[in-house]
Chains A and B, each alone.
Chain A
Amino acid sequence: MSDARPRLGGLLTREPRVVAAGVGVLAEALAQQAVPVEEVDWRPAPEESLPALNAVLGDPRRADANARAVGRMLSARPHLVDVRPASEVLGLEPGVFLHAGPPLEWDRASGPMRGALMGAMVLEGLAGTPEEAERALARGAATLEPCHHHGAVGPMAGVVSPSMWMLVVQDDEHGGTACCSLNEGLGKVLRYGAYGPEVLERLRWMGAVLGPLLRDAVRRHGPIDLVGLIAQALQMGDELHNRNRAATALLVRELGADLVAADAPRAHVAEVFRFVAGNDHFFLNAAMAAAKAAADAARGVPGSTLVVAMARNGTDFGIQVSGTGDRWFTGPAQMPDGLYLGSYGPADANPDIGDSAITETAGMGGFALAAAPAIVRFVGGQVPDAVAATRRMYEITLAEHPVLQIPLLSFRGTPAGVDVTRVVRTGILPLIDTGIAGREPGTGQVGAGLVAPPAGVFADALAALAAAVPRGPA
């Protein structure tokens, strides 16, 4: 009897081609016979994680669940559809503030998080001065909730208050929506914990001028396909986390005519162009919202070991996993390794902060470093280092992005979809590009570089996945 499909995947009819893990002599014996053999640089998984690893790998739901989850993430088609104040789009009430990362209380908040919350209190008119705001926040006068709990993300401190304008992104494929605030630029800015008069003045201008003009332009233009735009930017040297120069230029080009065509004073239009032209990171927030929409599409698939959020609040690093619902697995935020601005140094740095690791979650940022040779100095200065970093991420991801491609790797898709089991098995941690905030409130940005999550969050997530494996018939 002969099936149409060859038995055993063609094992008995195809030229033998082998991968070998373990004892070197067995691979050598194949090489001796001129059989193509690829040796695995295998390392043992941590002993204490073995029972959970075996339970999760043995879960018959896992393979299909992961295929479904990562398939949803990669087929998402996020479009920029609107720009609206947080009070409208998220229903944010006065006195409620969103922040980056997993849940956090004022007492545990780091310097830049406190600084950003203080500035936002003043911006919303809930305090007259930053000092007054600090006292009020310490009293518990405000409600703090993670952006991620509201379908939103925010870079660095990620503080969102009701009057701030948000980019609104809609996933055409799966119907989800995601939001991200407008990018303020670099240096002394609220998201890095600065709250001086120039910070608040800029935020007020963004609310009064930038937000409404962008809204009108986007509405006039119609939905902008962000994945298509990001794919182009990757081929122009962006990785969409620490470099967004090409994507920002592409977005301005896309919206230019509609900004001009709007019924706004010419001076305001010029201000908007000048602002965006002076901010190479303007597109970052759109990339984050796109990534959030894609990652959210992959949530809630029972049995899936796909990471759907990586986020930091300046104190904790947290991840969420498709198969474990909205539960956070947290550990201490790590110190980034990077380059510092001016006279700042590592002693001035705050631990890792921001929701922007959503870009890595969806296969951009550090995972696409090989696409961005211009910023390789963050990884040791050489292009091969960036290529090696991206290649290493394929070891812990479930898929290659069908649309986002890396020219240097012959247009291979970016590594996408972090698999908890692969991280635990290999010990390879996701590589995250990041800005570095000053540890003292009010300082602002002090540098940029790379950071990794604490390994424990993946072990904890694995244990929870193992506990959720249904007991099969014995």
Chain B
Amino acid sequence: MSTTGTTRVEVRRGAYHDSVTLMRVSRSLAERPDVAEAMAAMGTDLNREMFGRMGFAVPADAGPNDLVVAVRTARGAPGRALDDAFRALDELLRRPAETGAFGAQEPARTAAAAARRTGAGLALLSVPGPQVFAEAMDALDAGLNVMVFSDNVPVEQEIALKEAAARRGLIVMGPDCGTAVVGGAGLGFANAVRPGPVGVVAASGTGAQQVMCLLDAAGVGVSHVLGVGGRDLSPQVSGRSALAALAALDDDAATELIVVVSKPPAPRVAGLIREAARRLDTPVVFALPAPGEDDLTAAVERALAALGRPVPRWPRWPAPQPPVPPGRALRGLFVGGTLRDEAEAIVRESLPPAAGHALLDFGDDAYTRGRAHPMIDPTLRLAAVAEHAADPACGVLLLDVVLGYGAEPDPAAALAPALAAARADRADLAVVVSLCGTPGDPQGRDRQVAALREAGASVFASNAEAARHAVGLLRGLGEGVPDE
């Protein structure tokens, strides 16, 4: 047993791994009981700086194409701890490959070929948008339903794919479909929710996540969530996938009620969908948040009423907030587009216009070109938190945190310290968080809530309630919510 921790920095030349994989590897290494600190990253300038800050000396010739792995063992760790950690690293970096007779089978190179091996019924495609059409069309030919997570797909390709799917009795979910749940499997960004009677048709990913999380909080589960892509209800695409999804859910024995979640569709398409919904045997509730319409929370409450289920008090975890001086502005920093839009609608109808309020969506194309979605890579929003907190005109920070499969493994780990730092510099800054998640999510909702609250944020399960609370703070109402 050594008494102090030991350190090893290893450079693997030309061994490329993507940043998401390496983030996960770093975390797994750091979580080992004998390891105090660990990082695995490509040797970019930014990462080299990070290694330096952690006290690791990276060889000068390690470049952006080299993998750098640094591990420091915990005090008192056994001598073999470093070797064990690096052995674990090899395991973590290994691409799993099926071993068949006469050597491992090389992975399939197309979705259709992969499906032929396993008998899969669904292809989840997240390749770059300009490349997705061929892959999706081939998958449809192979009899697969297709979920297209990718964005930047031309609308005429979307229409061609959806027509091809219709001819084959299949569905294309997407493009730009972030969320689906099929037969209990969460696809893309999806929360761990209980099975139940509500089927969701969603043209909005975070909208669907909000609905399924609130239902879950009310003790009601979902049968399936069929995403259709943000453009499905546009005049050009004309709800092709939404209509297929409605018909499929109507036919589904497990589905007793259907909720349609979307940003407000084009009026002609909305008419088409409502007309189709009227012809179904299954009742349909619309959740189309817009100024003057029900917000998502109210729509979920209508769904509960239709099911004859009680509406609970939506979970909230308030923290003391400072009084906000008059004239200050609301800054909303969102990763969910629909959550942002819903909050904006609430702000617009409650606050006088043009008071410097700004609500940003970091999941917008402008922020994601060449970057992972902010639900995976929080870097840009974290920078914005610091920036807006430093702006004296900013009175309330309103943020969403979206948990679930596919999202970053511990969002509070980076966000809570950022919020705490903002509050340390600005005692007059109020912070409100809309937290979309369930107790079963891999990030642990309650652990996330505790960390965010510890950092000074008031946390709400309902995005609409979070937005209203932020508005109330700006109007000088209350320093928190009295009833907790």
| A, B assembled together | yes
Q: Name the one of B96, B111, B137, B186 contacting A21, with C-beta atoms under 8 angstroms.
A: B111
Q: How large is the interface on B (under 10, 10 to 19, 20 to 34, 35 or more residues)?
A: 35 or more
Given the complex, which residues of A lie within 8 Å of B123, measured CB to CB? 18-21
Whether B157 contacts A8 by the Cβ 8 Å rule is no
Given the complex, which residues of B lie within 8 Å of A29, measured CB to CB? 186, 188, 190, 405-406
Whether A9 contacts B143 by the Cβ 8 Å rule is yes
Whether A11 contacts B103 by the Cβ 8 Å rule is no
Whether B110 contacts A426 by the Cβ 8 Å rule is yes
Beta-carbon nearest neighbor of A11 in chain B: B145
* Nearest CB of B to A136, in Å: 50
Whether B183 contacts A395 by the Cβ 8 Å rule is no
B359 contacts the other chain (CB 8 A): no
Q: Which of these binds chain A: B69-77, B126-134, B284-292?
A: B126-134
Given the complex, which residues of B lie within 8 Å of A60, measured CB to CB? 164
A39 contacts the other chain (CB 8 A): yes
Given the complex, which residues of A lie within 8 Å of B192, measured CB to CB? 33
Q: What CA separation (Å) do A15 and B121 show in the bound complex?
A: 9
Q: Which of A108-143 contact B (CB under 8 A)?
A: none
Whether A388 contacts B103 by the Cβ 8 Å rule is yes
Whether B188 contacts A38 by the Cβ 8 Å rule is no
Whether B109 contacts A44 by the Cβ 8 Å rule is no
Given the complex, which residues of B lie within 8 Å of A16, measured CB to CB? 121-122, 182-185
Q: Choose among A3, A10, A29, A370 the residue with the greatest number of B CB atoms under 10 Å from its CB.
A: A29
B171 contacts the other chain (CB 8 A): yes
Given the complex, which residues of A lie within 8 Å of B223, measured CB to CB? 12
Q: What CA separation (Å) do A24 and B170 show in the bound complex?
A: 25
Q: With A25-B406, A63-B141, A395-B108 given, is the CB distance from A12 to B124 under 8 Å?
A: no
Whether B110 contacts A40 by the Cβ 8 Å rule is yes
* Nearest CB of B to A231, in Å: 21
Whether B169 contacts A8 by the Cβ 8 Å rule is yes
Given the complex, which residues of B lie within 8 Å of A387, measured CB to CB? 101-103
Q: What CA separation (Å) do A391 and B104 show in the bound complex?
A: 11
Whether A7 contacts B169 by the Cβ 8 Å rule is yes
Given the complex, which residues of B lie within 8 Å of A23, measured CB to CB? 20, 126, 149, 372
A156 contacts the other chain (CB 8 A): no
Beta-carbon nearest neighbor of B160 in chain A: A58
B355 contacts the other chain (CB 8 A): no
Whether B134 contacts A26 by the Cβ 8 Å rule is no
Q: What CA separation (Å) do A409 and B186 show in the bound complex?
A: 34
Given the complex, which residues of B lie within 8 Å of A8, measured CB to CB? 145, 169-171, 244, 248
Whether B109 contacts A5 by the Cβ 8 Å rule is no
* Nearest CB of A to B132, in Å: 8
Q: What CA separation (Å) do A452 and B126 show in the bound complex?
A: 31
Whether A12 contacts B186 by the Cβ 8 Å rule is no
Whether B108 contacts A24 by the Cβ 8 Å rule is no
Whether A38 contacts B115 by the Cβ 8 Å rule is yes
Q: What CA separation (Å) do A25 and B20 show in the bound complex?
A: 7
Q: With A30-B187, A53-B134 given, is the CB distance from A395 to B110 under 8 Å?
A: yes
Q: With A11-B121, A21-B125, A21-B127 given, is the CB distance from A41 to B170 under 8 Å?
A: no
B21 contacts the other chain (CB 8 A): yes
Q: What CA separation (Å) do A345 and B202 show in the bound complex?
A: 65
Whether A19 contacts B120 by the Cβ 8 Å rule is yes
Given the complex, which residues of A lie within 8 Å of B62, measured CB to CB? none
B320 contacts the other chain (CB 8 A): no
Q: With A12-B248, A14-B121, A41-B109 given, is the CB distance from A57 to B170 under 8 Å?
A: no
Whether A19 contacts B118 by the Cβ 8 Å rule is yes
Given the complex, which residues of A lie within 8 Å of B145, measured CB to CB? 8-9, 11
Q: What CA separation (Å) do A33 and B131 show in the bound complex?
A: 28
Given the complex, which residues of A lie within 8 Å of B107, measured CB to CB? 39-41
Whether B21 contacts A24 by the Cβ 8 Å rule is yes
Q: Which of A327-377 contact B (CB under 8 A)?
A: 370
* Nearest CB of A to B304, in Å: 23
Given the complex, which residues of A lie within 8 Å of B459, measured CB to CB? none
Q: Name the one of A13, A28, A394 contacting B113, with C-beta atoms under 8 angstroms.
A: A394
Beta-carbon nearest neighbor of A387 in chain B: B102
Whether B125 contacts A9 by the Cβ 8 Å rule is no
Whether B143 contacts A19 by the Cβ 8 Å rule is no
Q: What CA separation (Å) do A8 and B247 show in the bound complex?
A: 10
Q: With A384-B102, A422-B110 given, is the CB distance from A9 to B127 under 8 Å?
A: no
Whether B102 contacts A54 by the Cβ 8 Å rule is no
* Nearest CB of B to A147, in Å: 33
Whether B131 contacts A45 by the Cβ 8 Å rule is yes
Whether B109 contacts A12 by the Cβ 8 Å rule is no
Q: Choose among A13, A18, A33, A58 the residue with the greatest number of B CB atoms under 10 Å from its CB.
A: A18
Given the complex, which residues of B lie within 8 Å of A174, measured CB to CB? none
Given the complex, which residues of B lie within 8 Å of A38, measured CB to CB? 108, 114-115, 117-118, 120
Q: Name the one of A12, A44, A53 contacting B252, with C-beta atoms under 8 angstroms.
A: A12
Whether B247 contacts A20 by the Cβ 8 Å rule is no
Given the complex, which residues of B lie within 8 Å of A408, measured CB to CB? 101-102
Q: Name the one of A7, A19, A421 contacting B111, with C-beta atoms under 8 angstroms.
A: A19
Contact with A along B153-179 (1 / 0, CB 8 A): 000010010001000011100000000
Q: Choose among A17, A23, A27 the residue with the greatest number of B CB atoms under 10 Å from its CB.
A: A23
Given the complex, which residues of A lie within 8 Å of B130, measured CB to CB? 50
Q: What CA separation (Å) do A10 and B107 show in the bound complex?
A: 26
Q: Name the one of A3, A17, A58 contacting B133, with C-beta atoms under 8 angstroms.
A: A58
Whether A39 contacts B114 by the Cβ 8 Å rule is yes
* Nearest CB of A to B153, in Å: 11
* Nearest CB of B to A451, in Å: 21
Given the complex, which residues of A lie within 8 Å of B101, measured CB to CB? 387, 408-410
Q: List 13 A-B contacts (CB under 8 A).
A: A2-B251, A7-B247, A8-B171, A11-B248, A14-B183, A16-B185, A18-B122, A18-B124, A23-B20, A26-B126, A29-B406, A39-B114, A384-B103
Taking Cβ atoms with an 8 Å cutoff, the residues of A that contact B are 1-3, 5, 7-30, 32-33, 35-45, 50, 53-54, 57-58, 60, 62-63, 370, 383-384, 387-388, 391-392, 394-395, 408-410, 421-422, 425-426, 428
Give me 16 other A-B pairs in contact (C-beta within 8 A), A29-B190, A38-B120, A426-B109 excluded.
A7-B252, A8-B244, A12-B248, A19-B108, A19-B115, A24-B18, A25-B24, A30-B405, A33-B185, A36-B120, A43-B109, A44-B127, A58-B137, A370-B102, A388-B105, A395-B110
Q: Which 8 A-B pairs have the closest CB atoms?
A: A22-B126, A384-B103, A41-B107, A29-B405, A16-B185, A19-B114, A23-B126, A35-B185
